[in-house]
């Protein structure tokens, strides 16, 4: 018999759902995976990074971030900002050019693609004729010069991408005038460099691969000078416009003068910085003058091939100081930021993009220290192994962590972050949130996750407690005295772990007491407390035998870590005072910390235990091993798999390129059909009252790892009778078993004398034996029990102890609610998604209403192995919303997901990036930024415009695609804004009367207007 819905109630609930739940992918934290191109706009003070997956990311002041994604899954090879404009051009390895603009919409800038273009050569021409190798964005902002593999230079008008064929520079035109002495090298090869001449934008230097450099006049369409060098890598104009630097494949660089004749076969000066032995190519060379003293010379590469050919170096030479900055990964590109409003002063910072990080070097402070990053920090300095999020950190704890972190940052420069373009319009975070990441090298890093920028606060290292192969006296940052080349290690990316057993697997921080528990790969559990002073102490290990004397088992995995027997000096911050060592030393799979009871629970594949860190003794050890479970004795690092497996996984992670699903509007027909099919399936589910639930098959008790402990949970609830609540520990295993232990805690005055005891009170075996991944106790109001000390700090209501409590058991396949203390089933919910769905991550979150400030609901947030997010109501256990979030093939991304207490979450989209998402309609952290042209660039008379007749370009022609309805108005605006007289009149009126225009009482004030180009037409915007 069919049941019918009550439509009034459903519509009211649907409206409430919209006020509570809203799914968004908001921001990507960390360092872009596989960067491939670097760009910088001095006018906008913005940094751009392109990646091999086709993403383009812009960064300015902290919090100012933009991301775009090319439809083509191709590598971004070059990024160029158009001078004095809000546009940039990207070149992909499929030879396509793309125009992007920062367009303001409702007071916030958006990065939009507004055009694309591919060079087309004459019919029958080989691909090399139009294969772009270098791009020059002309200072007029109206032209792109494209050098190609075939040696041609094409001139393209922007933003409309119209090729000006009459202005192209063919390789035949250059070859026809090559001097006789250069005749043997008439094959010029590709165009390696295009550089505009300072003080004369009508002249461009063209550098060819075989070494020929030609100074070309764009107006007269002819060569002015020739410079005959060796195999060319890069060129650089000196500021005076009279000297050129060129770098070459033999490790040398040369200086040429433009005043010494039409043809030069010998440079004024030639130097090989690293000696007479064969050297690698100098791929890029820059030189900047200083107001007082010698110039800065900066070059990449050039190392002696035999001895240091594998080093990734940038050399900085200034006066008598010469340093070779040694990076741990391949250099992509670099640029220099200069002082002054016009960016023409002394060099202030060197910005280097390498494959695994961005490094900014302070060139004005003695010693050239590194400037600390406010964003783009490489999360994967050592591979991330786990993560833990803590919401609403108390101010005192926050300040103490910051103070400990500041003591670790004394080697950084005191200079502020030098890239500050745009305005961060995002509201201040309402609370202080921490994200803790555990790493393969035994470190735990603390990140400020309150806002758009994931800022590093503090780093904890656990390696000092143990004997490792690392030498603490090693100083990797300094080269030996008198060493040549004068290497200096820079950057923090170090993927190699001294010992894979140090890897952090579980983290739990109590924000009220300041206690921290971290557990590792070799069965070690450290309990730490926050100390503002340095301390020296011995950390002794308490060994817990989880096998409990069971015969017939022999551990075949790695050995336990050896603990330091002498006192260890610990810096201010989190310092270990207790260590638990599980035997066998298997990976710790679950931990729970109750700082009010001073207890830590821990679990492995062999069992679980309770450690009393106040008395420093073991209160419980329980073996959960199945007699048939031999795999549990193998260990993850057995059979010499440790380093091999670690490296193999690292390389797999490096090769795997994931691109975020957000901001990517697919036009693929197959994907469109898939989305439509999903919508139809959802509509069918809405129509049916009792969904057809997937059949759950019972699993055999002989399955491997059935004794592995998946979750641990402390609760003060009714476990023996309904009249007396007692402390308890609940443990869930991989075999669908739940164990409940009643804990007897001594009174406060006897806490140090009487032991904590644990007695088994309950055992539940789920019929389908699916792994138990979560346990939650709900009080009499159906609300999850508060965290330890949360009520004591007046941050949560006391739990309702009058009505009956309930235990929610979350297995991989269903959600089951039991009454307490009888443990009888009250209700259950099975996953009804696609066949094969399994719960992978679960968390409890409070969802606040976006309309009513004091209304909220506690819900369960679930991530499945299909990459889908589900929100389930408590205590009714009903599905509320579900959204696809992560690709089902992205197993490591699903495994890395962590939820917050307010309906947000993080997961790794690459080894170096977290994607942040939100399911809450009220709490949302996303970038909101505005980028405007600086006032000085409304008009720059010094930049001459190029005209088709040789006297300057008058702006006629196609400037982009304009809307049909507004085409006449756009053409008129375009014509007006390209007439210099009109521009000068506008400028005078704005400067003269402060922008006041009016008639009678209808005065309109225009505060300092800017002339912007959005790719379609020009318009005015006003700085408010």
Q: In DSSP terms, which residues pair with 55 in a beta bridge?
A: 69
Q: What is the mean pLDDT of residues 431-449?
A: 96
**In degrees rounded to 5, what are phi and psi of residue 590?**
-160, 145
Taking a C-beta distance cutoff of 8 angstroms, is the pair 908, 892 a contact? yes
Tell whether the model's pLDDT for residue 373 goes beyond 70: yes
Instruction: State the pLDDT at residue 856.
Output: 93
Instruction: State the pLDDT at residue 188.
Output: 85
Tell whether the model's pLDDT for residue 415 goes beyond 50: yes
Eight-class DSSP state of 770 = P
Instruction: State the pLDDT at residue 646.
Output: 53
Q: Which of 126-140, 476-490, 651-665, 922-936 has the highest mean pLDDT?
A: 126-140
Tell whether the model's pLDDT for residue 688 goes beyond 70: no
Question: Dihedral (C-alpha) 786, 791, 793, 795: value to the nearest 10 degrees?
Answer: 60
The answer to which of 163-177, 202-216, 473-487, 757-771 has the lowest mean pLDDT is: 473-487
Buried b (16+ CB within 10 A) or exposed e, 72-110: eebbbbbbbbbbbbbbbbbbbbebbbbbbbbbeeeeebe
Taking a C-beta distance cutoff of 8 angstroms, is the pair 85, 141 a contact? yes
**Beta strands at 423-424 and 1009-1013: parallel, antiparallel or unpaired:** unpaired
DSSP 342-400: TT-SSEEEEEEEETTEEEEEESSSTT-PBPPPSS---TTSS-EEEEEEE-S--HHHHHH
Percent of the chain with pLDDT over 70: 81
Q: Is the peptide bond before 584 cis (omega within 30 degrees of 0)?
A: yes
Q: What is the rounded distance in angstroms from the CA atom of residue 634 to the CA atom of residue 779?
A: 41
The two structure tokens encoding residue 632:
């549990």
Q: What is the mean pLDDT of residues 717-735?
A: 94
Percent of the chain with pLDDT over 90: 68
Tell whether the model's pLDDT for residue 987 goes beyond 50: no
Q: What is the rounded distance in angstroms from the CA atom of residue 28 to the CA atom of residue 912?
A: 10
Instruction: State the pLDDT at residue 978.
Output: 41
Q: What is the rounded distance in angstroms from the CA atom of residue 369 to the CA atom of residue 667?
A: 48
Distances (CA, A) of 376 to 29, 30, 33, 372: 7, 5, 11, 10
Those residues with Cβ within 8 angstroms of residue 901's Cβ, 6 or more apart along the chain or in another chain: 389, 391, 392, 843, 844, 845, 846
For residues 840 and 683, the model is more confident at 840
Those residues with Cβ within 8 angstroms of residue 462's Cβ, 6 or more apart along the chain or in another chain: 442, 443, 444, 502, 504, 518, 520, 526, 576
For residue range 222-237, list pLDDT tens digits in order: 999 999 889 999 999 9
What is the CB neighbour count within 10 angstroms for residue 686? 11
Taking a C-beta distance cutoff of 8 angstroms, is the pair 524, 578 a contact? no
Instruction: State the pLDDT at residue 1019.
Output: 34
Tell whether the model's pLDDT for residue 645 goes beyond 60: no
Instruction: State the pLDDT at residue 250.
Output: 94
Those residues with Cβ within 8 angstroms of residue 818's Cβ, 6 or more apart along the chain or in another chain: 764, 806, 807, 808, 809, 824, 825, 826
Contacts 24+ apart (CB under 8 A), 587-590: 587/505, 587/521, 587/522, 587/523, 587/636, 588/505, 588/506, 588/519, 588/520, 588/521, 588/523, 588/524, 588/525, 589/505, 589/506, 589/708, 589/709, 589/710, 590/506, 590/709, 590/710, 590/711, 590/712, 590/731
Tell whether the model's pLDDT for residue 41 goes beyond 50: yes
The two structure tokens encoding residue 158:
């922007």
Instruction: State the pLDDT at residue 423.
Output: 96
491 Rama sector, left if φ>0, alpha if ψ -120 to 50, beta otherwise: left
When computed from its CA atoms, the radius of gyration of the chain, rounded to whole angstroms, is: 33
Q: What is the mean pLDDT of residues 579-588?
A: 96
Tell whether the model's pLDDT for residue 882 goes beyond 90: yes
The two structure tokens encoding residue 918:
């939100």
Q: Which strands sit side by side in the sheet containing 357-362, from one edge to the other?
A: 331-338, 347-354, 357-362
Instruction: State the pLDDT at residue 73.
Output: 86
Eight-class DSSP state of 406 = H
Q: What is the rounded distance in angstroms from the CA atom of residue 485 to the CA atom of residue 301?
A: 12
Instruction: State the pLDDT at residue 343.
Output: 81
The two structure tokens encoding residue 985:
């009149």
- Tell me the pLDDT of the chain averaged across its residues: 84
DSSP 614-651: TTTEEEEEEE---TT--GGGT-TTTTTTHHHHHHHHHH
Tell whether the model's pLDDT for residue 634 goes beyond 70: no
DSSP 102-116: EEEETTEEEEEEEEE
Cα–chain center distance at 682: 33
Instruction: State the pLDDT at residue 699.
Output: 57
- What is the band of 448 on the pLDDT scale with cuts at 50, 70, 90? very high
Cα–chain center distance at 249: 35
Closest CA to 874 of 843, 905, 899, 852: 843
Instruction: State the pLDDT at residue 121.
Output: 79
Instruction: State the pLDDT at residue 496.
Output: 77
Q: Which strands sit side by side in the sheet containing 191-196, from one edge to the other?
A: 191-196, 203-208, 212-217, 222-228, 263-264
Instruction: State the pLDDT at residue 417.
Output: 96
Length of the chain: 1024
Q: Which strands sit side by side in the sheet containing 504-509, from one edge to the other?
A: 504-509, 515-520, 524-531, 573-583, 541-545
For residue range 585-626, list pLDDT tens digits in order: 999 999 999 999 999 999 999 999 999 999 999 999 999 988
For residues 575 and 184, the model is more confident at 575
Taking a C-beta distance cutoff of 8 angstroms, is the pair 692, 832 a contact? yes
What is the CB neighbour count within 10 angstroms for residue 684? 11
Tell whether the model's pLDDT for residue 120 goes beyond 90: no
Tell whether the model's pLDDT for residue 846 goes beyond 60: yes
For residues 962 and 824, the model is more confident at 824
**Beta strands at 913-920 and 904-910: parallel, antiparallel or unpaired:** antiparallel
Instruction: State the pLDDT at residue 412.
Output: 94
Tell whether the model's pLDDT for residue 690 goes beyond 80: no
- What is the band of 478 on the pLDDT scale with cuts at 50, 70, 90? low
pTM for this entry: 0.84
Torsion over CA: 984, 985, 991, 996 (sign) = negative
DSSP 942-957: TSPPP-TTSS-----S
Instruction: State the pLDDT at residue 342.
Output: 79
Torsion over CA: 646, 652, 654, 659 (sign) = negative
Tell whether the model's pLDDT for residue 286 goes beyond 80: yes
Burial of 64 (0-12, 13-18, 19+ CB in 10 A): buried
Instruction: State the pLDDT at residue 659.
Output: 38
**In degrees rounded to 5, what are phi and psi of residue 533?**
-120, 155
Closest CA to 377 of 32, 63, 56, 660: 32
The answer to which of 158-172, 469-483, 900-914 has the lowest mean pLDDT is: 469-483
Q: What is the rounded distance in angstroms from the CA atom of residue 368 to the CA atom of residue 360?
A: 10
DSSP 649-701: HHHHHHH-----STT-----HHHHHHHHHHHHHHHHHHH-SS--PPPPPPPPT
Tell whether the model's pLDDT for residue 637 goes beyond 60: no
Cα–chain center distance at 388: 17
The answer to which of 197-211, 302-316, 453-467, 646-660 has the lowest mean pLDDT is: 646-660
Tell whether the model's pLDDT for residue 22 goes beyond 80: yes
Q: What is the mean pLDDT of residues 97-107?
A: 95
Q: What is the rounded distance in angstroms from the CA atom of residue 610 to the CA atom of residue 896?
A: 26
Q: What is the rounded distance in angstroms from the CA atom of residue 286 to the CA atom of residue 292?
A: 18
Q: What is the mean pLDDT of residues 798-826?
A: 94
Instruction: State the pLDDT at residue 114.
Output: 95
Q: What is the rounded distance in angstroms from the CA atom of residue 94 to the CA atom of residue 1024?
A: 41
The two structure tokens encoding residue 238:
């000196």
Tell whether the model's pLDDT for residue 253 goes beyond 70: yes
Tell whether the model's pLDDT for residue 654 goes beyond 70: no
Buried b (16+ CB within 10 A) or exposed e, 715-749: bbbbbbeeeebbbbbbbbbbbbbbbbbbbebeeee
Those residues with Cβ within 8 angstroms of residue 249's Cβ, 6 or more apart along the chain or in another chain: 230, 231, 232, 233, 281
Instruction: State the pLDDT at residue 995.
Output: 36
The two structure tokens encoding residue 517:
């528990």
Closest CA to 918 of 105, 14, 20: 20
Those residues with Cβ within 8 angstroms of residue 293's Cβ, 6 or more apart along the chain or in another chain: 318, 319
Q: Where do the DSSP E strands lie in 820-878?
A: 825-830, 839-848, 856-864, 868-873
Q: What is the rounded distance in angstroms from the CA atom of residue 101 to the CA atom of residue 109?
A: 9
């Amino acid at each position: 018999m069919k049941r019918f819905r009550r439509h009034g109630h459903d519509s009211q609930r649907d409206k409430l759902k919209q006020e509570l739940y809203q799914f968004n992918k908001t921001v990507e934290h960390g360092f872009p995976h596989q960067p491939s191109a670097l760009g910088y706009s001095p006018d906008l003070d913005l940094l751009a990074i392109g990646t091999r997956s086709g993403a383009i990311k812009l960064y300015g002041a902290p919090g100012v971030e933009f991301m775009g994604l090319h439809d083509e899954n191709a590598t971004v090879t070059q990024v160029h900002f158009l001078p004095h404009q809000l546009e940039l051009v990207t070149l992909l390895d499929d030879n396509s050019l793309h125009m992007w603009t920062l367009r303001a919409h409702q007071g916030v800038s958006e990065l939009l693609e507004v055009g694309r273009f591919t060079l087309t050569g004459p019919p029958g021409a080989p691909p090399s004729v139009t294969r772009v190798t270098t791009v020059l964005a002309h200072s007029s902002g109206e032209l792109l010069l494209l050098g190609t593999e075939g040696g041609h230079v094409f001139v393209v008008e922007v933003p409309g991408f119209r090729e000006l064929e009459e202005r192209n520079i063919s390789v035949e035109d250059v070859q026809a005038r090559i001097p006789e002495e250069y005749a043997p090298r008439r094959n010029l090869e590709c165009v390696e460099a295009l550089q505009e001449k300072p003080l004369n934008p009508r002249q461009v230097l063209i550098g060819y691969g075989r070494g020929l450099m030609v100074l070309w006049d764009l107006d007269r369409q002819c060569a002015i000078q020739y410079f005959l060098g060796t195999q060319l890598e890069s060129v650089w104009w000196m500021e005076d416009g009279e000297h050129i630097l060129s770098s070459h494949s033999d490790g040398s660089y040369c200086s040429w003068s433009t005043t010494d004749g039409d043809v030069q076969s010998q440079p004024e000066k030639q130097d090989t910085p690293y000696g007479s032995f064969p050297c690698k190519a100098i791929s890029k060379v820059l030189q900047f003058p200083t107001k007082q003293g010698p110039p800065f010379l900066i070059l990449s590469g050039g190392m002696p091939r035999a001895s240091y050919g594998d080093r990734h170096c940038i050399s900085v030479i200034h006066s008598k100081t010469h340093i070779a900055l040694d990076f741990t990964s391949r250099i992509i590109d670099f640029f220099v930021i200069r002082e002054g409003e016009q960016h023409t002063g002394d060099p202030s910072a060197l910005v280097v993009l390498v494959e695994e990080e961005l490094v900014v070097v302070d060139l004005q402070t003695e010693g050239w220290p590194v400037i600390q990053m406010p964003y783009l920090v490489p999360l994967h300095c050592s591979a991330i192994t786990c993560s833990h999020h803590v919401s609403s950190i108390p101010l005192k704890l926050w300040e103490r962590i910051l103070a400990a972190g500041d003591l670790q940052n004394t080697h950084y420069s005191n200079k502020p972050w030098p890239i500050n373009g745009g305005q961060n319009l995002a509201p201040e975070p309402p609370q202080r949130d921490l994200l803790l990441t555990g790493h393969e090298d035994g470190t735990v890093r603390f990140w400020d996750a309150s806002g758009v920028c994931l800022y590093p606060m503090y780093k904890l290292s656990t390696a000092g407690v143990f004997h490792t192969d690392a030498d603490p006296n090693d100083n990797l940052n300094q080269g030996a005295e008198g060493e040549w080349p004068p290497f200096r290690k820079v950057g923090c990316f170090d993927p190699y772990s001294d010992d894979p057993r140090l890897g952090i697997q579980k983290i739990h921080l109590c924000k009220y007491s300041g206690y921290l528990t971290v557990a590792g790969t070799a069965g070690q559990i450290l309990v730490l407390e926050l100390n503002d002073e340095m301390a020296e102490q011995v950390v002794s290990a308490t060994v817990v035998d989880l096998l409990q004397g069971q015969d017939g088992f022999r551990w075949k995995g790695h050995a336990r870590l050896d603990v330091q027997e002498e006192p260890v000096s610990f810096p201010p911050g989190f310092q270990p005072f207790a260590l638990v060592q599980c035997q066998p030393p298997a990976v710790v799979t679950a931990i729970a910390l109750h700082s009010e009871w001073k207890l830590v629970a821990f679990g492995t594949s062999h069992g679980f235990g309770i450690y009393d860190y106040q008395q420093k003794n073991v209160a419980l050890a329980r073996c959960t091993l199945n007699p048939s479970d031999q795999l549990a004795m193998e260990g993850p690092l057995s059979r010499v798999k440790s380093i091999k497996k670690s490296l193999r996984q690292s390389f797999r992670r490096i090769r795997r390129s994931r691109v975020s699903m957000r901001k990517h509007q697919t036009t693929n027909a197959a994907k469109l059909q898939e989305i439509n099919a999903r919508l139809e399936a959802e509509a069918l589910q809405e129509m049916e009252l009792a969904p057809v639930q997937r059949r759950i098959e019972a699993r055999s008790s002989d399955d491997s790892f059935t004794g592995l402990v998946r979750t641990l949970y402390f609760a003060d609830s009714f476990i023996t009778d309904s009249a007396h609540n007692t402390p308890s520990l609940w443990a869930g295993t991989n075999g669908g078993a739940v164990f409940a232990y009643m804990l007897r805690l001594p009174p406060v005055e006897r806490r140090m004398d009487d032991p904590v005891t644990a007695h088994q009170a309950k055992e539940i075996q789920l019929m389908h034996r699916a792994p138990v991944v979560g346990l939650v106790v709900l009080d009499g109001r159906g609300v999850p029990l508060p965290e330890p000390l949360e009520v004591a700090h007046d941050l949560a209501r006391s739990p309702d102890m009058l009505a009956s409590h309930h235990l929610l058991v979350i297995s991989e396949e269903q959600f089951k609610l039991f009454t307490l203390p009888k443990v009888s089933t009250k209700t259950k919910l099975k996953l009804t998604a696609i066949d094969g769905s399994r719960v992978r991550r679960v968390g409890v979150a409070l969802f606040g209403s976006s309309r009513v400030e004091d209304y909220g609901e506690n819900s369960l947030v679930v991530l499945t192995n299909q990459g889908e997010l589900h929100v389930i109501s408590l205590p009714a256990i009903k599905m509320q919303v579900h959204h696809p979030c992560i690709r089902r093939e992205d197993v490591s991304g699903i495994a890395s997901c962590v939820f917050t207490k307010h309906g947000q979450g993080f997961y790794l989209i690459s080894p170096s990036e977290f994607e942040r998402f939100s399911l809450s309609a009220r709490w949302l952290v996303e970038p909101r930024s505005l980028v405007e042209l600086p006032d000085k660039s409304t008009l720059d008379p010094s930049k001459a415009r190029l005209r088709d007749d040789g006297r300057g370009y008058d702006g006629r022609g196609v400037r982009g695609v304009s809307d049909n309805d507004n085409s006449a108005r756009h053409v008129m605006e375009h014509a007006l804004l390209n007439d210099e007289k009109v521009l000068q009149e506008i400028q005078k009126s704005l400067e003269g009367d402060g922008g006041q225009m009016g008639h009678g009482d209808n005065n309109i004030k225009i505060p300092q207007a800017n002339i912007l180009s959005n790719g379609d037409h020009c318009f005015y915007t006003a700085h408010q």
